[in-house]
Amino acid sequence: MMIKKTWNISKIRAGLTLILLLLITYDSISQNNNDNLAYHSVHYRSATTIHIEGQTFSGQLNVVNVIDSFLYLQFNVGAFEAGRFYATPDSVLFINKIQKNFYHGGYAFFQAIADIEIDFFTIQALLNNLPLAENEDITISYEGEIVADGRTFFRTLNFEHDSYPLEIMMDIKKITFNNVPKVNTSIPKNFSVFSF
C-alpha cells in the first residue's frame, strides 16, 4: 500500500515568508558592529511560529552564520525542507523547494520581489542581536538567555511588522559556537531559475 503525503501549501508559503521577512527588515548597517562578538561562528536551531493574516504556522529554522563570511538558513515544516537560503557579502542563493526553483545572484533579488534594499551585514546583525537602523513599522525584541560553550546568546527573537499582519517568534533550542556544520548549497538538477 502506497501512502501519499500532501503538504499544506499555506504552511510552506508562511515558512518562506518567514525567511524573506527576517531578511528584509532593516536598512544597511556597517560591518564594524561585529568587532565585539565573542565568537567567529554560531549555529542554532529554533522552533519558529509565524502568525500571518489570521493563520498560525510552525516549523524549524536552522541558522549557520560564519561572521562576515556566510549565512545559511534552512526552514523545515515537519520533516519537509521548504526552503534554503545561503548568502555571502556579495551574493545570494535561494532555493525554493516548494516551487522547485532557485535564484543565484546579487541582493537585487530582494528589491525585485519585496521592494526593499537589504545586504548581508543587515541580515547577519538581525540574527546576532547587533544594532540595527530604526524602522517605525517593525518591532524586534530579544528575550531570555541561552548559554553554550561559556557564551550567552538570546533565547527568543520576536519580530512584528505593523503595516503587514505578521508576527514571527523564534525560540532557540540548540546552539553551538565556533563549530561550523556542513551546509548544503547544491541546487537540485530539475529546478528552474527563478524569474521576476
Residue 133 resides in a domain = yes
Which contacts of 129-133 are long-range, i.e. CB under 8 A and separated by 24 or more positions?
Answer: 129/153, 129/154, 129/157, 130/29, 130/33, 130/34, 130/37, 131/29, 131/33, 132/25, 132/26, 132/29, 133/26, 133/27, 133/28, 133/29
pLDDT at 108: 81
pLDDT of residue 141: 78
Whether pTM > 0.85 for this model: the answer is: no
Q: Are 71 and 64 in contact (CB under 8 A)?
A: yes
Per-residue model confidence (pLDDT) at position 109: 74
* Domain assignment of residue 109, yes or no: yes
What's the pLDDT at 113?
63
In a domain, 55, yes or no: yes
Q: Is residue 185 in a domain?
A: no
- Which of 44, 38, 35, 43 is CA-nearest to residue 68? 35
Q: Give the Cα separation of 65 and 86 in Å (integer).
A: 10
**What per-residue confidence (pLDDT) applies to 3?**
44
- Domain-located, residue 72: yes
Structural domain boundaries, residue 73: 9-30+39-180
pLDDT at 27: 33
We report the CATH number of the domain holding residue 68 as 2.50.20.10
Hey, what's the cell of 83? 526552503
Determine the pLDDT at residue 91: 93
In a domain, 194, yes or no: no
Q: What is the chain's pLDDT, residue by residue, as a tens digit (196 residues)?
A: 444 444 445 545 555 555 555 544 333 333 334 545 678 888 989 898 877 777 787 889 899 999 899 999 898 888 888 889 999 999 999 998 888 999 999 888 776 765 566 788 877 887 777 766 666 667 777 788 887 777 777 777 777 766 666 677 888 888 888 889 999 999 999 999 987 6
Angle at 25 between CA 193 and CA 12, to 5 degrees: 50
**How many structural domains compose the chain?**
1
Q: Is residue 62 part of a domain?
A: yes
* Domain assignment present for 13: yes
36: number of CA atoms within 13 Å, CB side?
A: 6
